Amino acid sequence: MSAFSSPLSRRRDGRGSLLLAAVLAVTVPGFLVAACSAQGTQGGQKAPGAGQEAAASAGTQGRKQSSQRAVRLLTEAAQAAVLTSYQGEEIVSRWGSGTQPTVLVSEIWHVSGGQTVTQTLQPGTGSSGQPYRSADNDAQTPEGVLGVTAPLVNLLKQNYVLAYAGSGTVYNRKAQVVEALRGDGSLAARFWLDNATKLPLEREVFDLSARPIGEDEFINVSVFGRAAISAPAGGVDDPQGPWTGPLPPARLLTLRSRGWLVRPALPDDLSLFTGAQTTTSSGTVLDLGYSDGLSVISLFEQRGNLPARLAGWQKTTVDGKVIYVTEPGQRSMTWSSKGMVYTLITDAPAQTVSAVVGTLPHDAPPGFFRRLSRGLAKLASWVNPFR
Amino acid sequence: MSHLGDRLSALVDGELGGAERDRAHAHLAGCEQCRAEAAELRALKQKLRSLTTRAPAEAAMTSRLIAMTGTGGPQPARRRLLRAIPGTAGGPQSAGRGSLRPGLPRPRRARRRRALVIGAMSLVVGLGTAAFTAGGGGEAVPGPKVTPQVELYGVEHAITTGGLPITGPPAPLNSEANATAP
């Protein structure tokens, strides 16, 4: 990596390592504690009584109480998503540049503290895709509903002002409403949390211009005893492969010293909150998860270079950087730089994605003479009969 | 016996003074060779005089016709005639110093030189363009060719986020390509 090419870079890298170690030491154990504490606090905490308390009350005490109540409700929702056995239908809507959202529907079965099975309807066909099964027995990679997990609630608490916004109704289910506000007071997200099960029922996400960019709903929710729920047969066990994670901070620091790009943070308050690793036929893949509590960016790294042709990908330019994106929607993007292939998968707003792509490594286009020299060498190699 | 040499031409042109002219005439009386040479010079002078008295259009036509032969180009007719006639002042003695040197005439050499320059420049430009094109693209870095396994990554991303393992579109990137869209 170029960061190790000069003494200055090494000094900077050393500071970066210290910073990374400090961040990981503070954040990752916090997430683990939060996730583990979810196991211990099982048992129906009573839902807060319905009321129209003003979330943004004038007094400091009122705001503090509102914030504490919002945090408690979200924490309970994250716990319920792990500890409750439930079945439901998750509808994810995403707005792009057009007025019509892209809607995706999945059936979800979850056994308390155990496996989650997700079967996604193929968009536009009405048929179901292959269900996949994943386990979260260790509770260190807690799956959630509508993105409400313990680590993300913790980040949400750090990066946004959480406020209790009263009660509401979602598909005839009574819910408590929690809002996430930016520092300037603008609304970033709104959550509806089920009174009865504590599970998240709906989440709305807004961009900086207050335009809705995402709406997730969890409907037709049924809660079962542990033995009562049965997932559909034929599910694939861990089709995603043997991901090892979350990686401890020491492991991440080791990977960084070996040339992997492990940054403690990305633009727009995106913090590194998890890491995982797997081995594929083409080598080791490192997954680093960054989030501000609402948006998540998964950065996948793999040593190598992109092939000359990428089927299913489209070449585009983001802030002057040439990358490849999947169609439709450009939700996944990839490029290679200095022997490393970077792939981003994210649901973050476009501005955030552009900022992140801009700060990650890219190969600078060669200068005129450098390019000419390379071309002459290539032409010479083509006509060299002795090569 | 020494002949008149250059004084013969001056005599024909009437440029010699009294005593000098008398001595030249005395020599001509006894020198057959110089008499013959003087007669040729006079005849030539007569021809040149008749050329200069032709109509201008005819003279221009003559120049063009001479140029079309490809042997002289736009040179003065008098000089070319002088060179073509042996034994005159512009004859064989001076022809060796003029444009009758061995090799191609000057315009043809110039055209060939220009063609060479243009050819060389074309070669340089073509080669440079080809090299610039071939030198584009990413730096050739050793390592395996990797095609991102989006499905694999998507599932891992979903587990990380607590969401769905679907690669649906949230919003278009703030890319230059999209910036041009309305």
Partner-chain residue, chosen from A213, A280, A350, that has the shortest CB–CB distance to B174 = A350
Angle at B12 between CA B9 and CA B13, to 5 degrees: 85
Mean pLDDT along residues A87-111: 79
Q: How far apart are CA A79 and CA A42, in angstroms?
A: 8
Residue A43 has pLDDT above 70, yes or no: no
Q: Is the pLDDT higher at B44 or at B172?
A: B44
- CATH number of the domain within which A110 lies: 2.50.20
Secondary structure string (H, E, C) spanning chain A: CHHHCCHHHHHHHHHHHHHHHHHHHHHHHHHHHHHHHHHHCCCCCCCCCCCCCCCCCCCHHHHHHHHHHHHHHHHHHHHHHHHCEEEEEEEEEECCCCCCCEEEEEEEEECCCCEEEEEEECCCCCCECCCEEEECCCCCCCCCECCECHHHHHHHHHHCEEEEEEEEEECCEEEEEEEEECCCCCEEEEEEEECCCCCEEEEEEECCCCCEEEEEEEEEEEEECCCCCCCCCCCEECCCCCCECCCCHHHHHHHHHCCCCCCCEECCCEEEEEEEEEEECCEEEEEEEEECCCCEEEEEEEECECCCCCCCEEEEEECCEEEEEECCCCCEEEEEECCEEEEEEECCCHHHHHHHHHHCCCCCCCCHHHHHHHHHHHHHHHHCCCC
Residue B96 — pLDDT band, cuts 50, 70, 90? Answer: very low
pLDDT in tens, A205-259: 998 888 888 899 999 998 886 555 555 555 444 444 578 878 888 999 999 999 9
Residue A381: pLDDT band (50, 70, 90) is confident
Look at residue B157 and tell me if it is in a domain: no
Q: How many angstroms separate the CA atoms of B131 and A306, rounded?
A: 23
Confidence band for A23, pLDDT divided at 50, 70 and 90: low
Average pLDDT over residues A1-27: 45
Range with the lowest mean pLDDT among A244-253, A265-274, B51-60, B127-136? B51-60
Note whether A152 contacts B128, CB cutoff 8 Å. no
Total domains, chain B: 1
Task: Give domain status of residue B16, yes or no.
Answer: yes
pLDDT of residue A340: 93
- A279 and A145 in a common domain: no
Query: Which range in A166-170, B81-85, B91-95 is most confidently predicted, on average pLDDT?
Result: A166-170
Number of domains in chain A: 2
The pLDDT, as a whole number, for residue A321 is 86
> Is residue A266 scored above 90 in pLDDT?
yes
CA nearest to A152 within chain B: B161
Spatial contact of A34 and A25, defined as CB atoms under 8 Å apart: no
Residue written as token pair 């996948």: A300
pLDDT tens by residue, A273-311: 989 999 888 889 999 999 999 888 999 999 999 988 888
Residue A371 lies in a domain: no
Q: Are residues A132 and A227 in the same domain?
A: yes
Question: Which of A144, A178, A349 is CA-nearest to residue A267?
Answer: A349
* Between A256 and A145, residue with greater pLDDT: A256
pLDDT of residue A139: 43
- Above 60 in pLDDT, residue A33? no
A177 and A70 part of one domain: yes
Of A20-29, A60-69, A139-148, the one with minimum mean pLDDT is A20-29
Full domain range(s) for residue A16: 2-27+241-359
The answer as to whether A39 is a domain residue is no
Nearest alpha carbon to residue A286 among A263, A268, A307, A267: A263
User: Does the structure show a pLDDT above 70 at A264?
Assistant: yes
Mean pLDDT of A263-281: 92
DSSP 3-state of B31 = coil
Nearest to A341 among B146, B154, B162 (CB): B146
Tell me the average pLDDT of chain A: 77
Contacts of A235 (CB under 8 A, 6+ apart): A117, A119, A131, A132, A133
Give the CA radius of gyration of chain A. Answer: 23
Residue A323 lies in a domain: yes
Across the range A63-83, mean pLDDT stands at 91
Q: Is residue B39 included in any domain, yes or no?
A: yes
Which stretch of A175-189, A217-231, A301-315, B7-21 has the lowest confidence by average pLDDT?
A217-231
Dihedral sign from CA coordinates of B49, B50, B56, B61: negative
A371 vs B: CB within 8 A: yes
Of the pLDDT bands very low, low, confident and very high (cuts 50, 70, 90), residue B144 is confident
Residues A181 and A299 both lie in one domain:
no
pLDDT at B112 over 60: yes
Q: Tell me the count of A-B CB pairs closer than 8 A.
A: 237
Query: Which region holds residue B126: left if phi is over 0, alpha if psi is between -120 and 50, else beta?
Result: alpha
Pairing of strands A200-206, A212-224: antiparallel
Looking at the domain assignment, is residue A74 inside a domain?
yes
Q: Say if B124 is an interface residue toward chain A (CB within 8 Å).
A: no
Contact B173 A318 (CB under 8 A): yes
| In a shared domain, residues A125 and A228 | yes
Q: What pLDDT does residue B141 have?
A: 64
Residues A262 and A291 in one domain: yes
A258 and A229 in a common domain: no
For residue B168, being part of any structural domain is answered with: no
Report how far apart, in Å, the C-alpha atoms of B141 and of each of A128, A338, A344 are: 42, 7, 21
Summarised one tens digit per residue, pLDDT across range A328-367 is 566 789 999 989 999 999 888 888 888 999 999 998 777 7
Last residue of a domain, one of A237, A262, A288: A237
B163 and A347 within 8 Å at the Cβ level: the answer is: yes
pLDDT at A186 over 90: yes
Residue B173 above 70 pLDDT? no
Choose from A103, A292, A331, A354 for mutation: most chain B CBs within 10 A.
Answer: A331
Does residue A327 fall inside a structural domain? Answer: yes
Q: CB-based contact (8 Å) between A317 and chain B?
A: yes
Instruction: Taking residues A37-60, report their average pLDDT.
Output: 46
Domain membership of residue B58 (yes or no) is: no
Residue with the bigger pLDDT between A327 and A67: it is: A67
Contacts of B156 in chain A (CB under 8 A): 240, 243, 276, 278, 287, 298, 300
Determine the average pLDDT of the residues in B104-129: 87
pLDDT beyond 50 at A7: no
Residues A317-323, mean pLDDT to the nearest whole number: 85
Comparing A256-260, A263-267, B89-93, B138-142, the range with the smallest average pLDDT is B89-93
Domain end marker among A237, A257, A288: A237
B143: alpha, beta or left? (left if phi > 0; alpha if psi -120 to 50):
left
Supply the pLDDT for residue A368. Answer: 78
pLDDT at A175 over 90: yes
Lowest-pLDDT range of A8-12, B136-140, B161-165 = A8-12
Residues A224 and A258 in one domain: no
Structure tokens at A373: 């020299």
Q: Is the pTM of this model over 0.80?
A: no
